[in-house]
Structure formats: C-alpha cells, structure tokens
Structure 1
C-alpha cells in the first residue's frame, strides 16, 4: 500500500512525505533505498486546506543481519509504503518467544505480538507508570498471568486488595470478545493464588500473615517501630538493648525499659507495646517457602492496615525474604510493589521505613535472581535511585507535568514527540521500552482473569424469576447493597450442572466472626440453624451452639475444663485442674453425663458432640470473601439464632475481635 512520496528537506534521522493514502500516526512505513528497505515510524501528521503531510522518524535497515543507520538522506520523491509485518519484526527484533511473557500487540499491528523476556524480568527490574484509573493494575495483572503460566514464584505487595480477583475467570463481555481476537481464553488462577493479610477482620478471605519475631534486635527493631524516635528515646533504647541478647523477646525489652529512670521511657514503652499488640510478629510465622513457591502468587493484602504499619510489614517481610534468597533458602521470585510512591518516596516527599530494604533489592536483587516491578501513578514522587534501576518501562497515560518530566528523565530512548503523546495515549495502550532498542507503542492484551475494578454482579446473565425486592430485607431497607459471601459457583454453572432451566435463589442469613485463640481465625455461622458453615453451597455445617442454662455455674465451670482436654480424661485428671473437692467431682461428672454433656467409656470420659465441637472451631476456619452487591432472590430464610447470642457464647472460649452480618447465596 502506497502512502505517498517524500517531499522537502530530509536528514539521516527524519523525513516528511505528502500523504495520498490512509496513513495514521504511529504507523510503520518503508522506503526503498539502494535495494534495501528502510523502516520509519510516523510521528506526527499535519493537514491544511490543500494537503496532508506526515513527519517520520527513521529507524534503520538490515545490513548483513545487523541493524544499520542511514549515512545519507533518502531521495525526495521516493515512494513511502505501508511496512510489511515481516520487515517490522526483522528490524525491530520482534519474534514469537514461547518462553516470553505475551504482553500485547504492536499498536495497529494485530499480527505482531510483543513479548517481555522473563529471564530479564527476574534478573533486572520493570516499572509500570500511569495516572490513576488508566490501567496500571490491569497491565500488571496481564504480566502476572503470563508469569504464573510459566510457574514463576510471585509476591505482590497489595495496599488496596486489588489483586485477589486473579482467582476468577474474566466475565467482562467486552474483554471476552477481545480475548478471542487475541486467540486467548478466559481463565482463573484460584489454584495458584494464596492471599495473606495482617488484618483478616477486613480481608476475610485471607490467611493470617505472621512475621518472624526472631532476631528482632537493634537496628531492625528500630525500623519496626511505626514512629520516628527522638535522640533521647534512641539513647534509652540502645542502653536497654546492650543488656539483652539477640534471643530476647519484646516482652524482655519492655521489662528492662521499666527499670529506666528517665521519664522519656513511657512514650517509648507505649510505642513498643503498640507494635506488640498488632499481633504481626510471631514465633510461629508464615513459612518463607510457603510465600515463595513455584507456580504460586502470594498476595500480601494490606487493605485496612494503617499506613505506618504497612511500611513496617513491608520492611520486615522484604528484609526476611531478601536474606533468605541470599542464603538460597528460597527460589528466585518476582516482587510486585503496588503504590510504590508510598513505600519508596523521593527524599523531598517524606520518609518510609521500607525504603532502605527496597532500595537494596533494586540495587542488588539482580545478583540473586530477585526481580521487582515498581508500580506508581506519581513517578515524580518515587525514589530516583530505584526507578533508574528499571531496565524495562511500561508507561500508560500520564498527564501531570511533573510526572511527564520524571518519565522523560528516566525512560531511555523516549523522543520528544513520544513524550508529548504520553498525555494522549488511548486507553489500553502503552509505551514500552527495554524490549528492543526503541520505544514501542503496544496495545495491552485483555486479561484472562477477572479485573479487580469490576463490581461483582451475581445475576448479570439472566434475571431471576419471581424475584423479591431488596427492601424485603428489613434491616437493609432503602439500601442498594448488601454484604454477600461470594458464591464459588455461578448461577449459570449451577444451571448447567443441575439441568434446571429456572434456577431459584435463596439467601441464608449468616455472620462472620474473627476469633483469637492460640491463632487468629474466621468462622461463618449460619444464623438460620446455628451451624458453623462448612458447605458454602448449601450453608450446612457442624452444630456447636448449646444452651447451658440447665446446669449450675459450678457444673458449667467443670464442663469448660473438660472441653480443654483434647482427648478422653479420667475423673482424677479433671480433679487436678479444678478447685473443687474430689468427692464433688464424681457428683458433677454424673450429672453432666446424665444430661448428655459427657459420655463414659470404662474409666474415661469425653465431651459429647455438639459440645465438643467448640474445640474444633479453629479447624472450621474459612477464607470466604464478602462483597457488597445488589441482589435479586426468591427466598429469604429467617435468622432464628441471634448474632448476640452467638457472640456471647463464643466469648466464653475465644476473644472475639469482630463480627459482621452477611448473607450466603444458595441455588435450588
């Protein structure tokens, strides 16, 4: 296809031509020069009343298998042609790379795929920049999907809980149409995703994240404290640490601090107690080889965690993982750092506890196979020493002048024309550098998994027949959204599996309780029948609630002691833990046995079900996700068991940190 002919003055780097064909900005064109085709890129197009002129930047030509540059300008009058895909791929060095990460198509060239070198990602670093709402997280998720399919271990620092939807297949109709055009299929990665959080009250579907309390000593302890200490406080702290050893606990330090005579110790004690009470440090910490595992993406969900604590968690976690990687105790892995400007700010924009270890990872991580991905909407506020270490950059739409300037300062090969285009990039389009020697404009491929910015719509596929309006749920009257436990099976899946055309929907009232025993765990209680839910399709589970009004206070105390035995026990063993007379134990045991609380086998006793189920509740722990959504339903079950009764009952055995009402969706 002929686009036009070269006119006017040209150089070895640029030329212009009179447009007679359907030329577009960013199109690649070719011009014959001494029996070799030269590749160029249309940088800008101008039109007046009489003519249209395109301005092109020259890329080069292939000579003896190598990319060469022009040494003399192109001849005026030469024909400018639409460049063939083969020529573009040959000169740019773009080849199908089965071992690479497929990120998208060259803009305007659906036949030319763009791949990122996975070995390069793990040995070097990448930055992804865009203004808020223009596809940072979406692009990162595309990259994560590719890495998961290549079994690369991934750790994501996720301040806002955006990445948990990687578990589920994409259900966006527009994305599904695009996926077919890209030759891809929707897919969820639920088997590859593990989500951890220091706050499972907010992030109910997450596993509790516990950080190692070992070697929390000296400088590391100071970095773990959420506030900056004064010189006086530092002096007191160092004085106390000298009297302790590396195996001492935070409690040992607090005891030593109380012996100090300086009044400044009280503020310091309060700060250290605050850290201890966050319950993020533990001897039974989350294993490092569980966080970094081949084919697994570990999401560190920090939603609901205070900013100062987020910095502490990120510092401690990355410091431990980096040290383990240096010792080769864990595999090479890829670190994704969302909202990077909060964790590694430029000096003029504040300080962060996490900055030193992240700076070390960016400067030394490549030696140990630790690649990092830095994501930010404010590159001007990100530490320059870290962002300059990124050899691959993906830049989507950026409009803030300071951020545009920051991008142009660290992105290699970015031309003045391309810099001007950063604020005009279409949605889903990025400028990528580091793949080849030149910046590429790439159309990012659609996600295979569900996008985190899309609200859950349980019934978007078909209306439910004989629906009841939301305001029939009295406690949510006049509200648009109610808390729903996200079902594992969609209504369409149930329709296919059951063979039913008209599927009805039942809402089961439930409550999720965040409990603290030896460990922290969440359980969901069915308020229609009082069961601890184990089957999230039907709401069925194990009964554990019981009314203990038919026994005396003393008998109740003995029953509570009996509940602490994991196995059967004798009367003598029960007596040794109680404060009653031995003669009374037999009378109480006989009463509890007669009323069905205990059962006797020979000389041994055990607690009957459902009473013994209270001890098994930690094994009923769940990681279900709650989302607020509008819903249509056919039946609403009555909450026969009141949430306050359940809370009071559980309080006898566990510390209740939080409880939330919600609804479980069941199909029939």
Structure 2
C-alpha cells in the first residue's frame, strides 16, 4: 500500500511519550505532493500527519525536521541523511469522531501519512458543529481552519503579536467570522460581544454589526457615560480626592453612606433593603452636594461663648460648586474660631472641585441622564445603561476609549468591567444574565492595565473574570503586543492561544510558558511568521495549527495601517498653521478647532430655459 498511496510519508522509528520520530520515505523526492488535485507541503514544521491504527487514526503536528530530529542512538552516517521528522501526537479519531488526547501509541514501523482535506474535515466536523472558520492552513491553503466557538468564549483566549503582525486585523476578522461568516445571515446574530477599543481602530471596520459608544462621539456614534455612583467608594475617592489616610477616608465614606440612605428614604429603589445598604451599593448621590457639605464643615468658623454660632457671610451653591464664605478665624478670645472637629481634608476637597470642573472627565463625573440632582434623583437608572451596552439589536458593542485622558483610562476600564461583571454575576439566574446569554469581552492593549504588579481595579476584575467567568457566562479575549507585561495568572487562564509574529525573546518565552513542553518547539516559528499568520493552540483548536487568518475586505479593515511615509514625503507642502494642533491638545479632543467657521448656505436658482438674460 505504501508504494501506491500518494499520502505515504514514512515510518515510525521511535516512540517516547507523545513524541514520535519518523523516518521519511526515500520515494518522497520533493517537499510538494499533489493529491486529488490539491497541493500539500510535505514535512513542514506546523503541518499535520496521520498514523493509522486499524479502525483508529492518530493525529500529530510536525515540530522538527532534519538530522536533529533523528534518534540519538543511530550511527552518524544514518543521521546525516537528514530524512527525519519529529511529530508530537495531539489526538485521535474513531470513525467520524475526533477527540483530543491519546488512548494508545503507535508501534515501530507504523506508516505515517499526510493529512488531507478529507482528514481535516473529519477533525473539525461539519457545518452543524460549533465551528467558526477563521482562515486556512499555511501548509495547504485549500483546507479551512475552524475554532470551537464554545471553547473560545467560555475558556477565554489570547491574541498576541508584535506591532504590525496583524493583531487588529485578526480581531476584526475573528469577530466578523463569529457574527457573519462569509458575509451571510448564518452565524451568531444573537451574539453579545463587548470590545474595549483603546485606539479607536474598529469603529469603521465593524460599523455594520456594532453600536459604538465614544467619549468623543462622531456622527453615528453614541456618547459614552459611566456613572460615578456605580463605582466602589474606594476607587471613586481615589480618583476624585487623591490619596486619603484612614481618618480622611472615613469622613468621605460616612457622608456618602448618609447621602445614599437619604436617597432611599426619599424614594424606594427596587432590590435595595435599607438594612443591607453599604457605601459601595450602586445608589445615586450627588458629588456636588457631597463636596459642598464637606467643604462647609471644614471651613465653618464659630463665635459666641460656647463657640457654637456659625459666622456665615455668604451662602454658597453646590450646583455651581461655589463654596460658602465664613468670617476668617482670628487669634485671641474674641474669635471667630475654627471648627475643632474638621478632618483636615480641604486639599482633597479642592482636588474634587477641580475634577468636577474639568470637562475632560464629563463622561464619568457628569454622566448625562445618569447624573444625579442634588437630592440624588436621576433621569435614567443602571438598567438603561446596561440595555444600551448589552441589550441592543446588534451583536457587537464597541466602547471607543481613544478620547479618554490617559491618567484615567485604566480606572475607567476597571469601572466598566466591574459594572458589567457584577451585573451579569448577580443576574445569573435571569434570562439577561451571562449563563443563558453569554458575553465575550475583548480587551485591546491589555498590557497597559494587566501588568504583573499593576494592582489596579482593572487587573483585579480581569483576574476574577479569568478565574470565575466561565461559571457565569463571561468570557475574556486578551489582545496584547507585549505578552511579557501581561499578568501570568491571566495569561495562564486563556485556554486558546492565537500567537502572531513575536520577535522579542522575552515575549516568546512567556508564550512558550503557557504551552505543554512537547508543543513549545512550535513557538520557535514565531519570529518568521508572515503578517496575518498565526499559530493557534488550546481548547478551541482541536489540533495545534499554523494558520493564515482570513483578511477582511478593505472597507472592513481596522484603522491600524502604517502611515504611507514615501507618499506623504514625496511632495513639498505649504506652510501649515499649528493652531489647530494646540487647540486639540488643550481640549484633549481630536476634533477640536481653533476657529469656528460659519458658512452661510443659500440655494442656487437657475434661470428657466425660456428666460433671456440681459446684461
């Protein structure tokens, strides 16, 4: 059979655990083989082989080719032929059912065959399975590569690659393949995917299937708001008031607790019991009123024999952040006297006022219809916020964070993730929860907030999602160009790894550390992968595979291409005004203008054809 079977490659020479050494056949004259009209590359690192075992077939991936793959016990002259190949076994198939892992091992001199298109269909299953097509085999472009959608979402995943390796295009292609494979109506139209877009790359690429929320919305986008009162008190105070010691923090939290209790007494809210109210309960309260009450207490001066009569000169206004004015204290026995119970938080209150007046932070401190009035009433509650993010008629939500100031970006990401995870965690028994309708959270530029020693709110929430999210229907997709700067705990919980080109040895070492020892050799290919080519291993891939990711059409590609340097530098340009540059810098908004231009438009009236025009 071996003499006439075009798929025959060689025979098993040694078996050690899951590693198999194969001696290639002398009849294998070239690295190409044509089988049933399809061309296959033979003996390529990353390609597949099949070892028949009667009714059962074993499948493996080629990890090493050449003399170095030969058994160490052979004579030098046998090794020098170089016709050797090391294969790592990965799974087996009985009939049409493929399963990862091994129930038996091959024997010496067993035949080894090329894996053909029919074999791959056997592995990946039919159209009725949960398989999502994402590209084609690098060693055989006619064979589709598919991933298990269930494993991709519930067991988490990571897309890793250096700048320019095709990371953003891979993310866009993968999300499009999940929702609208091949551009048709099949797929997952009821998917629920949330994409944190740090650089504003995906709004154009996925506009036809997404709803976009932005801190600096463009036409067709909706404003992004994150209500401050939905955050934990500690993270909110850390942002608006800076560093606080224990006594100073108690001054703030006691007042917040009091204001939240007053809000519940004013009007009952569904689900909250006054006896179980905590300072972290997501109850609306006014930051302006909080600031006013605390600054009033800190600056009050008293007169009178008992020093109990406030010496107020002018009442302030919390709505405009105008503080009350008291007669300054004086030395001696006549007064006025300072408030001896003051907590010494005037500096922190000044910072809070500055934050509230800074228009860059309106998306969190003045969150539109979610901004409470001075009594704590709001026009819209958190259900409207979650409905907008997760319950609209499109499968994808893009949160464009490119207009968010860098000093608050990490805190904002942590707040968004905490709001979403807490909501889905506590609603896990309801139809809107994560179990009956799972959520996939895609986190771009994850290394910016998931460092090993970051210790921020975002890192804490993502670790919780990575460890527990599977149970509650919340999946994570980590996207990063620096795997070495991503927390090892988070990366180790990613069941599926999509590794694009990585040149840095430290980054490659981190990726290797997440794989079994027998597959680590595959990662030696990372520096030489082409743009848009990836090595995929883990739960969603039934076999480790070297894959060429499908490239979306031009109008559906993310806005992450390199600048056209040659074209931009080819022609001399006129002197430009940089006043617009400074205006955008000051406004922290890319669309800001230096001069407002008003154009008066008037309709143009044409003369009728039969009307003579006289000069």
1:523 deviates by 11
Matches within 5 A, 1:132-211: 132-149=163-180, 150-151=188-189, 152-167=191-206, 190-200=207-217, 206-211=221-226
User: Within 5 A, what are the aligned runs for 1:430-509?
Assistant: 430-432=534-536, 433-448=538-553, 449-454=556-561, 477=574
Q: 1:250 to 1:540 in 2, by over 3 A?
A: farther
Partners of 1:58 and 1:299 in 2: CA distance: 40
Q: Distance in 2 between matches of 1:298 and 1:336?
A: 10
Alpha-carbon shift at residue 337 of structure 1 (Å): 0.7
Distance 1:344 1:110 in 2: 36
For 1:306 and 1:118, the matched residues in 2 are separated by 35
2:532 pairs with 1:428: yes
CA distance, structure 2, for counterparts of residue 371 and residue 112 of structure 1: 28
Partner of residue 126, structure 1 = 157
Shift in Å, 1:142: 1.0
Superposed CA deviations along residues 443-473 of structure 1, whole A, max 9, x for unmatched, are 211114123223799xx9xxxxxxxx998xx
The answer for the alignment partner of 2:294 in structure 1 is: 257
Query: C-alpha root-mean-square deviation of aligned residues, in Å?
Result: 4.1
The secondary structure found in structure 2 opposite 1:155 is strand
For the Cα contact (< 8 Å) 2:247–2:343, is it kept in 1? no
Q: 135-144 or 224-233: which moved more?
A: 224-233
Change (3 A) 1:435 1:119: closer
Offset from partner CA, 1:91-147 (integer Å, 9 cap, x none): x44444575432112332333322333333443422111122212211111122123
Question: Between Structure 1 and Structure 2, how many residues are aligned?
Answer: 459
Higher deviation after alignment, 105-114 or 411-420 = 411-420
Stretches of structure 2 lacking an aligned partner (at least 5 in a row)? 1-5, 32-41, 68-78, 181-187, 264-284, 299-338, 371-383, 605-615
2:391 is aligned with 1:385: no
Matched, 1:43 2:128: no
Equivalent in the alignment of 1:279: 362
Deviation of the 1:250 alpha carbon: 0.7
With over 3 angstroms needed to count, the CA separation of the structure-2 counterparts of 1:159 and 1:34, relative to structure 1, is closer
Alignment of 1:194-593 (within 5 A): 194-200=211-217, 206-215=221-230, 218-222=233-237, 224-225=239-240, 227-231=242-246, 233-241=248-256, 243-245=258-260, 247=263, 248-258=285-295, 259-260=297-298, 264-276=344-356, 277=358, 278-281=361-364, 282=367, 284-285=369-370, 287-292=385-390, 293-325=392-424, 326-327=426-427, 328=430, 332-347=438-453, 350-411=454-515, 415-432=519-536, 433-448=538-553, 449-454=556-561, 477=574, 527=597, 529-530=599-600
Deviation at 1:85, TM superposition (A): 2.1
Decide whether aligned partners of structure 1 residues 49 and 479 sit closer, same or farther in structure 2, where only a CA change above 3 A counts.
farther
The whole-number CA distance in structure 1 between the counterparts of 2:13 and 2:151 is 43
How far, CA to CA, are the matches of 1:294 and 1:456 in structure 2? 35
Partner of 1:505: none
Q: Is the 8 A contact 1:153 1:297 kept in 2?
A: yes
Q: Residue 518 of structure 1 aligns with which residue?
A: none
Partner residue, 1:86: 118
Contact 2:170 2:549 in 1 (8 A): yes
Rounded Cα–Cα distance in structure 2 between residues aligned with 1:229 and 1:414: 51
| Structure 1 residues 231 and 454, CA gap change in structure 2 (3 angstroms) | same
Shift of 1:321: 2.4
Seen in structure 2, the aligned counterparts of structure 1 residues 111 and 220 have a Cα distance that, compared at 3 Å, is same
* Aligned residue number for residue 5 of structure 1: 10
Distance 1:301 1:412, change over 3 A: farther
Residues 244 and 482 (structure 1), Cα distance of their counterparts in 2 relative to 1, 3 Å cut: closer
**Counterparts in 2 of 1:36 and 1:470: CA distance versus 1, 3 Å:** closer
The Cα of 1:287 is off from its aligned counterpart by 2.8
SS in 1 for 2:45: coil
Whether the 8 Å contact between 1:408 and 1:414 is mirrored in structure 2 is no
TM-score in terms of structure 2 length: 0.64
1:30 aligns with 2:64: no
Distance 1:269 1:407, change over 3 A: same
* Residue 35 of structure 1, CA deviation: 7.3
Distance change (3 Å), C-alpha of 1:393 and 1:164: same
Kindly indicate whether the alpha-carbon contact (under 8 Å) linking 2:55 and 2:94 is maintained by their aligned counterparts in 1: no
Does the 8 Å contact 1:134/1:396 carry over to 2?
yes
1:520-573 Cα deviation digits (max 9, x unpaired) = x99999958335xxxxxxx999xxxxxxxxxxxxxxxxxxxxxxxxxxxxxxxx
Q: 1:25 aligns to what SS in structure 2?
A: coil
Distance 2:171 2:507 in 1: 19
Q: Does the 8 Å contact 1:470/1:480 carry over to 2?
A: no
8 Å CA contact 1:392, 1:435 repeated in 2? yes
Instruction: Tell me the distance in 2 between the aligned counterparts of 1:540 and 1:335.
Output: 49
- Normalised by the length of structure 1, the TM-score is 0.59
Shift of 1:63: 4.2
Deviation at 1:338, TM superposition (A): 0.6
Q: d(CA) in 2 for partners of 1:215 and 1:35?
A: 59
State the alpha-carbon separation in 2 of the partners of residues 226 and 161 from structure 1: 29
Deviation at 1:155, TM superposition (A): 1.8
CA shift at 1:300, angstroms? 1.6
Judge conservation of contact 1:338–1:375 (CA < 8 Å) in 2.
Answer: yes
- 1:423 is displaced (CA, Å) by 3.0
CA distance in 2, matches of 1:254, 1:164: 38
Distance 2:522 2:403 in 1: 39
Deviations 1:261-311 (A, max 9, x none): 668523312332344232123251473212222424222222242222112
Q: What is the CA distance between 1:206 and its match in structure 2?
A: 4.3
Structure 1 residues 70, 298: CA separation in 2 closer, same or farther (over 3 Å shift)?
Answer: closer
SS of equivalent residue, structure 1 residue 305 = coil
